[in-house]
Each structure stands twice: as structure tokens, then as C-alpha cells.
Amino acid sequence: MTGGFSPGVDLASSVIAGLLIGLALDWALGTSPVLVIVFTIAGFVGGFYKLWRHSAILEELAKERDRGA
């Protein structure tokens, strides 16, 4: 049941983690809002990479299933 939610949760958690890291570093270094933007974008990139990798695995599994049928 959780297999369908996992890619979405990975994307959301990557973005949220990037946002929180950026906020913490901006607060500590006083560089508002530069690091929030940088780490949020990095979270999006990392989340979409995980999503792409997950979809590639699903495509391979579907190809193997079609070959065996």
C-alpha cells in the first residue's frame, strides 16, 4: 500500500529538508534569503532525481513482466 506514496513523500521530504536547512543556515549566518533559495532548489533537484530513479525502476519491472508473459 505504501509503494504508491513513497515517491511523493520522498519529493516532499527533500524539499522540506532543503527549506529547513536553508532557514537554519540563513538564521545562523545572517544571509537571508540566499541559502533558503539555494537549499530549496537543491531539495527539488534531489527529490525529482529520486522520483526519476523510482520511475526507471518501475519501467524495468514492467518490461521484465511483459517479457515473461
Better-predicted residue by pLDDT, 33 or 69: 33
Helices (H), the chain: 6-29, 34-68
Handedness of CA 16, 18, 19, 20 (dihedral sign): positive
The Cα-based distances of 25 to 5, 20, 41, 65, 69 in angstroms read 30, 9, 15, 47, 53
Determine, yes or no, domain membership for 15. yes
Determine, yes or no, domain membership for 1. no
pTM above 0.85, yes or no: no
Q: Is the pLDDT of residue 69 over 70?
A: no
| Structural domains in the chain (count) | 1
Q: Is the pLDDT of residue 2 over 70?
A: no
Residue 50: give the domain boundaries. 6-68
Determine, yes or no, domain membership for 35. yes
For the stretch 19-61, pLDDT in tens is 999 999 999 999 989 999 999 999 999 999 999 999 999 899 9
The three grid cell numbers given for residue 47, joined into one nine-digit string: 527529490
